[in-house]
Amino acid sequence: MNNVNSGTYGQILVIHSRSDIALAMKTTHRIAMLTEFSDHESILLQLVTEEACMNAFEHGCPSGTCEFRISWLVESDIMEIRVCQNGGSFELSNEPTQPVKIGSRGRGLVLIQGIMDEVRLIPTGPYITLSMRKKRKV
Amino acid sequence: MENILKDQVQLLNWNTDVTLKNVDEFRGAIEKLVEGEKTKLILELTKVAYLNSAALGVIADAVLGAGRAGKELIIVGVQSTVGEIFEIVHFSALMKIFTALEEGYAYFTGELK
């Protein structure tokens, strides 16, 4: 599906370990550059990638062994990143920025919801998919 | 990392992005900063474009821990992406944040509120 000229780009990566998250972040950066997202947007999309993958590890891999899928789809000026994992559902806040968190944890989903234009959970059988979409700024 | 001591202020100039790969090193450096003898502490992030949520947690913990110890930790040199990240998590409600290092020193000398 990789056809940058037509404005469509897609890729899938299976994550097995924490070290694979760095590869996912690099993939986000490469796709963002290919599809003309700005450096600023690319950095924030990499952050979303890291946080979504870490969230998948923390909620879907209690035993430490893990396998989940991250996919990218860019159509026109919108990048969608999806992280699909087995079980381990979690909640998205309707008011992600309130109240101010003062502890050391719990900011990952706040960041994702603050950076992306649209974030939703899609349950499908035993799987839960975190879908995150961001429109490229002109 | 550069750790510069001045008369009243201890400065930690952290000069690389913080990801899952080096967040433990970042945590150690921040803990060392807060555990020092100085009561006025500055974390400079001029060369940092990326902080993950774990790094934000380290900073929040350090700011609160410093306050409990009668110290103050402020952040300086915040660039555009880090500034946007800080805005999303409302860090300005928890700590003083300045764009330039000089503003941090001015804050501690009382020249800037």
> What ipTM was assigned to the predicted interfaces of this complex?
0.90
Contacts of B87 in chain A (CB under 8 A): 114
Note the pLDDT of residue B94: 94
**Structure confidence by residue, pLDDT tens digits, B45-94:** 999 999 999 999 999 999 999 999 999 999 999 999 999 999 999 999 99
pLDDT above 90 covers a percentage of chain A that reads 61
pTM for this prediction? 0.90
Instruction: Note the CATH number of domain B2-109.
Output: 3.30.750.24
Q: Region A93-100: what's the mean pLDDT? A: 60
Note the pLDDT of residue B1: 47
DSSP conformation class of B91: G
Which CATH number is A32's domain given? 3.30.565.10
Note the pLDDT of residue A88: 62
Q: Region A109-115: what's the mean pLDDT? A: 96
Chain A residues with CB within 8 Å of chain B CB: 18, 21-22, 25, 40, 43-44, 46-47, 50-51, 54, 97, 100-105, 107-108, 110-111, 114-115
A22 vs B19: CB contact, 8 Å cut-off?
yes
Note the pLDDT of residue A3: 63
Nearest to A100 among B19, B85, B94 (CB): B94
**Structure confidence by residue, pLDDT tens digits, B1-12:** 444 546 789 999
Separation of alpha carbons B29 and A118, rounded Å? 36
Q: Are A135 and A117 in contact (CB under 8 A)?
A: yes
Give how many domains chain A has, as a whole number: 1
Find the helix packing angle between A108-115 and B80-88, rounded to 10°: 110
Note the pLDDT of residue A136: 96
Query: Domain spans of chain B?
Result: 2-109
Residue whose entry in the numeric block shows the structure tokens 């000069």: B15
Note the pLDDT of residue A91: 72
Note the pLDDT of residue A125: 86
CA angle B12, B15, B17 (to 5 degrees): 120
Q: In degrees rounded to 5, what are phi and psi of residue B96?
A: -80, 135
DSSP track, B44-109: E-TT---B-HHHHHHHHHHHHHHHHTT-EEEEE---HHHHHHHHHTTGGGTS-EESSHHHHHHHHT
What domain range includes position A15?
Answer: 4-135
Note the pLDDT of residue A4: 62
